[in-house]
Amino acid sequence: MADETVPLRDELLTRSVTSSEVVFEGAVWDVRRDTFELEGETLVREVIDHPGAVAVLALDEQDRVLLIRQYRHPVSANEWEIPAGLLDIAGEDPLVGAQRELAEEADVTADEWAVLVDYFTSPGGMDEAIRVYLARGLRPVPEGERHQREGEEAHLLQRRVPLDEVAAAVLAGDLHNSTLVIATMTARASREGGWTSLRPADSPWPEHPGRREGPTG
């Protein structure tokens, strides 16, 4: 059904959830089963309960994007990505989390921060929301203050690649990480518009699961 009067903006809703139970408890996230009402119909859906995440497109003075390469076991691939991480520290501000991830994964801090884009990764099955920041004015973390990386992160590679070159690799089908793809193409579009689409780093983020009021549909 077409309706040209509906605003072009996602509408956050709170559905009448009649029951909710955790059916799987994992090391990183859980799966819950919700029963809820939608337009008079009772539906049951299983949802990956995710703490949300932040990511950082760090751009240096030469318009190069700071990329890291990390092994991702679910897709059996060494993926080029931008620094990112879970918001799994209770009460941590998203901007602080992004600054922490940039320092821990890339040994870099930044003087300028802005919100680049917000998105849901897979709203058909999980509630993960990601906020991507644009960071500029990059500075190295002093050698003695650098984070000791473990697991997959202990084997990270790092490159700085011109933004246009990253965009070309996305369009060629050579890069597949969703956060990298979305951040790169958004940054390119924003740059073409003189960066006027950037929002303050402390902009509200009601889509984040920790900032919602009850289960949503």
Residues involved in catalysis? 153
Closest CA to 171 of 183, 160, 185: 185
The two tokens of residue 94 are 């998203």
Query: What DSSP element (H or E) covers 190?
Result: helix 178-192
Name the CA dihedral angle for 23, 24, 25, 31, rounded to a multiple of 10 degrees.
-80
The number of beta carbons lying within 10 Å of the beta carbon of residue 74 is 5
d(CA 76, CA 88): 24
Buried b (16+ CB within 10 A) or exposed e, 93-130: ebbebbbbbbbbbbbbbbeebbbbbbbebeeeebbbbb
Of the candidates 86, 91, 60, 84, which has an alpha carbon nearest to the alpha carbon of residue 160? 60
* Measured distance CA(118)–CA(141) in Å, rounded: 27
- For residue 98, what are its two tokens? 């992004």
